[in-house]
Amino acid sequence: MKIVVLDAYSIVYNDLSFDFLKDYDASIYDFTSPEEVVSRIGDAEAVFTNKCEIDKNVIDSCPNLKFVGELATGYNNIDVQYCKEKNIIVSNIPSYASNNVSEMVFAFLLDVFYNLHDYDVAIKEGEWINSKIFTFFKHTTHNLAEKTIGIIGYGDIAKAVEKKAIVFDMNVLVHRRTQDTSDKKFVSLDYLLANSDIITVHTPLNQQTAKLINEESISKMKDGVVFVNTSRGGIVDEKALYNALESGKISHACLDVLTKEPMEKDNILLKAKNITMTPHIAWAAYETRKKLIDILEENLKAYVSGKPINVVNK
């Protein structure tokens, strides 16, 4: 079977490999531009993609395609409905990054609430040496305990965030797509926005969630809220976020994702104050990428056996 991997580097980096494909007719590319997608897939039966788009044009141009392996949980880069119409199976990688991403949420929060980076810089610049007491005060720090964290979405990552928040003795509010009255933690979006000290987003990007965080929703947030997004950049209106940071409505934002990635040089958030950004690495620890490859191998074996798993377009 002929298999093409379009953007392997984002998964294997320089410490992993797709060795499990050695028994297949596999072509592995580190990077593939949009213009190269069709020619590289060619007459392959299976393609693996992380960010390369598999849209109607690609599908129509590659008539032998029967299996698309998404190298992530989210699959907004694939026209899954059209794949279904063409009897192409699409499988994703579920539940592989819950620990990684939820840990990153709290890495962000601990830095914001305890000013870890600023204190480290100050010490290395000699400021502690000149302190008159053993404790060098430069910033007011705050506990996470008893703060209310509002979690938008309730998939595996959101549940992992909730579990860690409880360990930190935080109060938890959750807004999920489907109404749930089984627990008082499940609330409306408006209630969550108005009552959370911290808001963290964990939803897929789709028509319902695109620019969910916008001028209107931000206006409903508590003054001085801390905002975290480790899901998809398109969920946030970046200009509205910039304005909220400038006004102080949002006291600090922590972003691992942007609408356009890699970041463009004129992105307005480069000028924003009180923002911490990382380059879409919340999912990317070695152990997490290794787990992703293991699940991908199982997805491929299941497809070959005629019993596909983790199918998102049944």
pLDDT in tens, 176-228: 988 888 899 999 999 999 999 999 999 999 999 999 999 999 999 999 999 99
**3-class secondary structure, 146:** coil
Other beta carbons within 10 angstroms of residue 293's beta carbon come to 19
Alpha-carbon Rg for the chain in angstroms: 22
* Domain edges within the chain: 2-96+286-304, 98-277
| Average pLDDT along the chain | 97
Rounded Cα–Cα distance for residues 160 and 164 (Å): 6
pLDDT in tens, 12-23: 999 999 999 999
Task: Return the H-helix or E-strand segment holding 2.
Answer: strand 2-5
pLDDT at residue 268 tops 90: yes
pLDDT in tens, 37-92: 999 999 999 999 999 999 999 999 999 999 999 999 989 999 999 999 999 999 99
Q: Could you check whether 2-96+286-304 and 98-277 share the same CATH topology?
A: yes
The correct answer on CATH 3.40.50.720 for the domain covering 2-96+286-304 is yes
Sole residue written with tokens 């997805």: 299
Annotated catalytic residues are 232, 261, 280
The correct answer on CATH 3.40.50.720 for the domain covering 98-277 is yes
Angle between helices 98-114 and 116-124 (to 10 degrees): 60
Strand order in the sheet with 275-277: 171-175, 148-152, 198-201, 225-229, 250-255, 275-277
Provide the residue type at 53 as one letter: E
Rounded Cα–Cα distance for residues 310 and 288 (Å): 18
